[in-house]
Structure 1
Amino acid sequence: MDKSKKLQRKQKTQYRDQVMEVEVELQGKSKVPSNSMVLPNKESVNDEAFDTSRLLEEVLERNNMLLALKRVISNKGSHGVDEMKTDELREHIKKHWETIKAKILENKYNPSPVRRKEISKSDGGIRLLGIPTVQDRLIQQAIAQVLSKIYEPLFSENSFGFRPRRGAQDAIKKSKQYINQGNRWVADMDLEKFFDKVTHDILMSKLEKKIQDKRLLSLIRKYLKSGILINGVSVTSEEGTPQGGPLSPLLANIMLDELDKELERRGHKFCRYADDNNVYVKNRRAGFRVMKSMTNIIENKLKLKVNKDKSAVDFVSKRKFLGFSFYFSKSGAEIRIHEKSIKRFKEKIKFHTNRNKGIKECLRDM
């Protein structure tokens, strides 16, 4: 196939589920929903005079809420514990917004527990998602939009997951660049049940370094502790940030930014996509050194756990990253879809296509 042709596929990013579909496009610009927010520069965010004491008003500001409403409705997604659907949200907000807003401002708003949803993983396991109500998704989305203006300018250029104008295709391209610079070994680290294991106090302490508005901090903590509805009983969340809400991906990047900054300080070549992190090095020994130092930060400072079964130091062509792998030609490193990803894609086509369905229905289900 001509190399100039685009390799495209819909990649389900499942913990990653919202369930969010990422169009992996190895050439050309990534397709990302337009973002009307104007991000401040890094210098203004680092300025001690940068006021974050009244962020809750920014969250609840009309234009911010309208943008959040538009995004939640367009993203669709499953219902929460109250069974309200996204197409019912606009009318619900028209009727009840003033009451909801007043409760939030008075610190009397209590988020609903999330609905547990099981998603099959590619390795045969089960991933547990927590689906908020559409009302809570709206509020979380509004919070995420305001926090993004503060944190996006501070995040590493080597962080690619759940960020505006960035995606899996950019991480793969950057990885190829590092490999072609002679870094043919990789310290490939995966975190064990990352979203389920985030320590609330550590995450909140990171937020408190930039956010002065205690009302907003209180609301975020309420979302972290909103609980999960299991067999009709709400179980309090003692740790973790539920996968499935709009705020969780941003909180994940805030939590792991310390790791990014330390890798940058040491001059490492790395690409992180959420809890998947690849550090590219010259040889095996350097890879083991990096793996040891990363494990120390992850387990001792952030109190998370490295998935030792999925993490390894190896030659880059022997590892899979975001559904892709690398091989070498005379011109250097090349990219291809990993054989396991192709197999899963074929299985998905087989599952969703049968004689009882029309073409449009099959394409919609995929």
Structure 2
Amino acid sequence: MNNFYNTLIAFNKIAANKGAGTPGIDNETVDGINLDKLERYHQEYVNNGYNPKPVKRILIPSDNKRTRPLGLPTIKDRLIQKCLEQLLTPYFENIFSEWSFGFRTKKSCHDAVKRVKQRFQGIDYIIKIDLKGYFDTINHGILMRTLNQFIRKNKVLSTINKWLKAGFMKNGIKYKSLSGSPQGGIISPLLANLYLHYIDLKMEELIKEGKPIKKGNPEYVRAWSKNRHHKLGTDRWINLNPKPRVEYIRYADDFIIGVKGEYDKAEGIKNQVIQWLEQDLKLIISKDKSKIVKANKGTRFLSYLIKVNPTNKTRTRKSTKNSLNGSVQIQVPKAKAEEYGYEYNWLKRGKIKHDEILADRDELEIIRTYQTIVRGIIQYFCLANNLGVLTYLNYLAEYSCLKTLARKWKTSIARVRKKLNRGSTWGIQRKNSIRTMGSLLLG
């Protein structure tokens, strides 16, 4: 942080962010920051004169006409947070668990789902534990004690503690922050990951304890000698470890635990993890959303449906049809298309509707907006083996787009189709190119 070059890099990254023009409580934006002011902010921190301001809290639209709070730190606070985040991230990347994927360098949701597919083969039960309002319930005392285990610089620790205590402004009134990570803070994801690092370490212990202790199966050897092993429900190895095999993947506060063993073993692990979360980390568990499910029934993780095919006792030769015994299925939930329909206001009470806001925009922008949304959804679910489920999403988007264009032109859907007909699809031609609605959607 003593290096001004780090401050310059941090400012350039902040300025490139789409929210750079949104001010905090001091109404300052990146446009009002020059080199002299950057140097002054840098020296404030170096000389221990830096004190963060409360975060400006506003409400923004969420799904189903609800709102959610958004924290807006000042540009100066964003800058100092970015500087420390740049310094701390490489250090903690060497410490964080291989089972943690959220807000990590070169790790993504897709990487987490791929790891589930690799590791959850043969799992019998899946444990899902839901944390209620995780980012708002992080205990400041526990977080600071955790930071003290890894960071020896008092200035860094003091600065982070100031951010935690800075509070927020709402309707001109200042409120204290008694818990939670810094609202809207650039450094919040890093701190949130560190807070759950304790659970990662505990789960690593369970994973190691449940590793199979293998011994050759004499029954399999006898069957092999008689060329009958493929007909028997005979495993090549016998597991001598009485503890269940455990798998675990975490993305931020969303994590999934797999158990190979009896239900009571899975229940014991679930209760143990809840105890760690509630007693050691003082987090709040949503009991009605935390459950154990049979792996072949499946559960959601990062919007995907994770299912594990049951393990049968019959075997087949390599020359016959491949067995799906214990394999992991990554799917799009059947209800997902309809959920997106309501999220993007294409549906209302089960009926497809137009988009009132888009109806005032250029027709090319209308089509492009629908295309971008659907293309992004399809790209996110590229790991699923049942993308056909999203065919209904294609229908919702296309019909809502037609209704929006019909509203814009004050005409019927049939006339819109006729006007924009391009053979097997429909679209708008501009400057020797055609933007068709079907070109980027499911065929």
Question: TM-score with structure 1 length normalisation?
Answer: 0.76
Contact residue 186 and residue 313 of structure 1 kept, 8 A:
yes
Aligned amino acid, residue 363 of structure 1? T
SS where residue 234 of structure 1 aligns? Answer: strand
Post-superposition offset of 1:122: 5.6
Alpha-carbon deviation of 1:302? 1.0
Structure 1 unaligned runs (5+)?
Answer: 1-55
**Paired residue for 1:299, among 259, 264, 278?**
278
Q: Matched residues in 1 for 2:247 and 2:47: separation?
A: 46
Residues 269 and 122 (structure 1 numbering): CA distance in 2 closer, same or farther, change over 3 Å? farther
Aligned to 1:213: 153
Alpha-carbon distance in structure 2 between the residues aligned to 1:335 and 1:202: 36
- In the TM superposition, what is the alpha-carbon distance from 1:76 to its structure 2 partner? 1.9
Larger RCO: Structure 1 or Structure 2 (Cα < 8 Å, ≥ 6 residues apart)?
Answer: 1
CA distance 1:328–1:251, shift in 2 (3 Å): closer
Matches within 5 A, 1:137-286: 137-180=78-121, 182-267=122-207, 268-282=246-260, 283-286=262-265
Offset at 1:134?
A: 2.6
Name the CA distance, whole Å, in 2 between partners of 1:287 and 1:112. 46
1: CA distance, partners of 2:259 / 2:308: 16
Which one-letter code corresponds to 2:305 in the other structure? S
For 1:84, the equivalent position in structure 2 comes to: 28
Q: Secondary structure at the match of 1:252?
A: helix
Q: CA deviation at 1:93?
A: 4.2
Match of 1:95 in 2: 36
Q: 1:342 to 1:84 in 2, by over 3 A?
A: farther
Q: Name the structure 2 match of 1:337.
A: 332
Which residue pairs with 2:361 in the alignment? Answer: 357
Return the alpha-carbon distance in structure 2 between the equivalents of residues 168 and 183 of structure 1: 21
| RMSD between aligned residues | 2.5
Cα offset, 1:334, TM superposition: 2.2
Query: Paired residues, what number?
Result: 304
Output the amino acid matched with 2:53. S
Other-structure match for 1:23: none
Note if 1:65 corresponds to 2:7.
yes
Task: Report if the CA contact (8 A) 1:186-1:315 is conserved.
Answer: yes
Residues 305 and 120 of structure 1, relative CA distance in 2, 3 Å threshold: farther
Q: TM-score, normalised by structure 2?
A: 0.63
Residue by residue over 1:273-297, the C-alpha shift from the partner in whole angstroms, topping out at 9 and shown as x without a partner, is 1111111112432321121111111
**Which one of 297, 305, 319 corresponds to residue 325 of structure 1?**
305
Give the 3-state SS of the residue equivalent to 1:165 in structure 2.
coil
- 1:312–1:215 distance in 2 versus 1, CA, 3 Å: same
Q: Between 117-126 and 245-254, report the one with greater CA deviation.
A: 117-126
Q: Does the 8 Å CA contact 1:228/1:237 hold for their aligned counterparts? A: yes
Stretches of structure 2 that go unaligned for 5 or more consecutive residues are: 208-245, 310-322, 347-354, 374-443
SS in 2 for 1:309: coil
Q: Specify the SS of the correspondent of 1:163.
A: coil
Instruction: Specify whether residues 333 and 207 from structure 1 end up closer, same or farther in structure 2 by C-alpha distance, changes over 3 A only.
Output: same
CA distance in 1, matches of 2:33, 2:187: 21
Q: Verify the 8 A CA contact 1:284 1:314 in the aligned structure 2.
A: no
* 1-structure distance, mates of 2:13, 2:63: 28
Aligned partner of 1:315 in structure 2 is 294
Deviations 1:32-64 (A, max 9, x none): xxxxxxxxxxxxxxxxxxxxxxxx42xxx2332
| Higher Cα Rg, which structure | 2
Q: How many percent identity over aligned positions?
A: 32
Matched letter for residue 196 of structure 1? D
Q: 1:109 to 1:123 in 2, by over 3 A?
A: same
In 2, the alpha carbon distance for the partners of 1:150 and 1:326 equals 33
Aligned to 1:43: none
